[in-house]
Chains A and B, each alone.
Chain A
Amino acid sequence: MKKKSKLELWIAFGAIALIYIAVAVLEQTVDANHIIFTVLKKGAIYSLVAVSMNLLNGFTGLFSLGQAGFMLIGAYTYSIFTMPVEVKMTEQVYKYYASAIHFDTGIFIGLVCAGLAAALFAALIGLPVLRLKSDYLAIATIGFAEIIRAIFQWDVLGPVTNGANVMREYLDLTDVKIPFTDIPFPPTLYVFLAAGVCIALIVLLINSSYGRAFKAIRDDEIAAEAMGINLFKHKEMSFIISSFFAGVSGALLAMYQYTVQAAQFKSAMTYEILLIVVIGGIGSVSGSCIASFLYIAASEWWLRGLDMGKFLGIESASLFRSGFRRFVFSIIIMLIVLFFSKGLMGDKEISFGGLIRRFNRNKPAKTAKGGGIDA
C-alpha cells in the first residue's frame, strides 16, 4: 500500500465526518418516515456485511457463501439476549413454548454477543470446512447456512428460538438512548456509527500484517506457506472475524426490522450480498459500501414505482406491476457487470489524493509517481 500523505488522510477523515454530520442533520430536518432513512439504515447494515464478506472473499481469497447463516445467528442471539425478561415470561412472544432464557442484556452487550456467537460457530465450522478449496468451500458454507436456518426453526429448540415463530419485542432502534439520559438516540445515526466502527476495525485489520498475510494467501497459497505463513491459522482467523461482523450486522438488521424470523435468512440473502460485493469490486472496501447503498436505494426506492404502476411520471398499471422492478433491476446489474467487469471500484479504494490530482492534472504534478489510487 502506498503511504498516504498526512493531508490525504485528514481529507479522508474530514469526508467521513461530513457524511456523519449530513446524516445527523438530515435526521433532524426530514420527516422520519421518509424512504431515505430506510435506504440509509439498510444500506449501512448491508455495507457492514458486504465488507465482512469482502474480507473473506476479496482479501483472503476464500469463496464462502455462509453470510446469511452467520447473520441469522447474530440476529437471533441479539433478539434472545435483549428481549426483556418480563416479555419472555409472558406469552407475548413465546406463545407455544416456555422461554428457557431467564436473563436479558443491554443493546451493546447484545450486539457484541451476537458477533461472538457467530464467531464461535465459525470457529467450529472452520475446522473441517476451511481445508476445502474454492467451490467446495462455497458448497459447504451454503449447506451450513441452510442447516442453521433449519435448526433455528426446529421445535425442540422452541424454548430458546421460539421455533419458526417471529421474534419481537426485543430492544430495537427506538430503544437506543443517548448515554446517561432518556433521550432517544437518532436511529439512522446509530446504525451509521455502529456499522462505521465495525468497518473501521476491518480496514485496520486489512492494513495490518495479518491483512498482508491474508492477501498473500489470496495471491498464492504455496508461496505464502513458503514464507512461513500458517495457512490454516490465518484462514480460520479471517473466517472467524468475518463471521463476527456478519453476526453484528445480523443483530443490527434485527434492530432495524423490529421483528426477525429465521425463514428470512435464505441463501438468496447471501447472493444479494455477494452481488453487492461483486458490483462494488472484489477487494475494495469503499466499493462494497458504495455498491451497498446504490443497491438498496435502487431496490427499495428508485425502482419502487416499477412495481406500483407509476415510474418517472408515467402511469401504466398494465406494465408497471408487481415483479417488473426485479426485471429492470436484473438488466441494470447485467449492464454493470458488462461495463465494469471488475466492479465499480475494481480492487482499488476511493482516494482523495487521486481526486485532487485529477483536478490538478494540468499543473506539474509533484507526486506523480504511484498515481492517486492505491490498492
Chain B
Amino acid sequence: MSETILSIRDLKVNYGGIEAVKGISFDVPKGDIVTLIGANGAGKSSTLRAIVGLVKPKSGVIAFEGENIAGKDTTNIVSRGITLVPEGRRIFPDLTVYENLRVGAYMRSDDIAPDVNWVYELFPRLKERSWQPGGTLSGGEQQMLAVGRALMSRPKLMMMDEPSLGLAPLIVRDIFSIIKEINKRGVTILLIEQNANMALSTADTGYVLETGRITMSGAGKELLVNEAVKAAYLGT
C-alpha cells in the first residue's frame, strides 16, 4: 500500500440548498490517478469544490497529508499544494496565455521560469500563442491552458473537473495522454468525468458516485468491465 495523500471521511456538502454530497469516503494514494465518475448532479463537482475550499463542507473530514483542511479557505488550501482545473476551463480570456500561467503561480514567490518551460514543453501550442489573449484560443487549447495554469502552482494534487467536456475525441485523447505524463512526474491526480470510458482506462482507482453517495469502487480496469458500470455509464 502506498501512502495516502488525500483521505475523505463522511463528507457532506450542501450546494444551493440541497445536500449534493451525502457522506462519502474515499482515499487518494500518493502518485496515483483516481477518478470519480457519475452522471450529472451526482455530486462530483461539489466534492471537488469542497476539497479546494470554494464551498464549505457541511460536515466530514478532508485530510490532506494527514491534516484536516475541511472548511479552510482556498488561499490556504492552494498554498498546501492542491489545485483545481475548473469545469468549463475558466481561463482568463483577456489575459495573455503567459499572464494566465503567471496567475496560476500566484501563490509562489520563487522562480517560475522552469515551470513555464515545462508547460510549454507539454503544450507547444501554448508557447506559440504565448502573447495571445486566452479568449482567442480554441476549446482544446483553452483546456491545455487551464491544465498548464494549474501546474504552475507546483501542485502535489491536481484535481480536474470534466477535462473532456465539449472537446473533440482526438483532443480528449491528447489531454488524457498528457494527464498521464503529468502523473509520471509525480503529481497525484483526482479526476472527475462523465466520459467514464476514458477516465477509467486512465485511472488506477475509480469510484462511482450516484446522487451523492459512492455506490461502487475498484481498480479502473475492473470497473471498465463491470456489468453495472457498463450498463449505466459506458453505454454498451
Interface residues of A (CB under 8 A from B): 1-2, 209, 212-213, 215-216, 218-220, 222-230, 283, 347, 369-370, 374-375
Q: Is B54 interfacial (CB 8 A cutoff)?
A: yes
- Bound complex: CA A375 to CA B90 (Å): 20
**Contact digits for B81-119, partner A, Cβ 8 Å, 1 yes 0 no:** 001101000111111100100111011000000000000
- Asked whether A223 lies within 8 Å of B106 as measured between CB atoms, the reply is no
Query: How many angstroms between the C-alpha atoms of A279 and B131 in the bound complex?
Result: 26
**Considering residues A222, A227, A347, which has the most beta carbons from chain B within 10 angstroms of its beta carbon?**
A227
Interface centre among A216, A218, A228, A374 (most CB of B within 10 A): A228
Known contacts A229-B106, A370-B131; is-contact A222 B90 (Cβ 8 Å): yes
Report yes or no: B131 in contact with A220, Cβ–Cβ below 8 A. no
Q: How many residue-residue contacts, CB under 8 A, span A and B?
A: 79
Please give me the residue from chain A that is nearest to B128 by CB atom. Answer: A369
From B75, B90, B93, contact of A229 by CB (8 A): B75
Q: Write out the residue numbers on chain B whose beta carbons fall within 8 Å of the beta carbon of A347.
A: 94
Q: Are A375 and B96 in contact (CB under 8 A)?
A: yes
Hey, which chain B residues are within 8 Å of A218, CB to CB?
94
Q: Mark B57-101, 1 if CB is under 8 A from A, else 0.
A: 000000000000000011101110001101000111111100100
Q: List 7 A-B contacts (CB under 8 A).
A: A212-B106, A213-B103, A219-B93, A220-B91, A226-B86, A228-B74, A375-B94
* B74 (CB) vs chain A CBs: closest residue: A225
A255 CB → nearest B CB, Å: 36
Q: Which residues of A contact B99 (CB under 8 A)?
A: 1, 212, 215
Is B23 in contact with chain A by the CB < 8 A criterion?
no
Q: Are B106 and A215 in contact (CB under 8 A)?
A: no
Chain B residues whose CB sits within 8 angstroms of the CB of A227 once the complex forms: 78, 83, 103-104, 106-107, 149, 153
B75 near A219 with CB under 8 A, answer no
**Complex formed: what's the CA distance from A213 to B104 in Å?**
10
Contacts of A283 in B (CB 8 A): 94
Contacts of A370 in B (CB 8 A): 131
Alpha-carbon distance A119/B43, docked complex (angstroms): 43
Chain B residues with CB under 8 Å of A230's CB are 73-75
Choose from A216, A225, A228, A375 the contact partner of B133 (Cβ within 8 Å).
A375
Which 4 pairs between the two chains have the least Cβ-Cβ distance?
Answer: A228-B78, A219-B92, A223-B90, A228-B107
Determine how close the nearest CB of chain A comes to the CB of B129; give it in whole angstroms.
Answer: 10
B144 at the interface (CB under 8 A from A): no
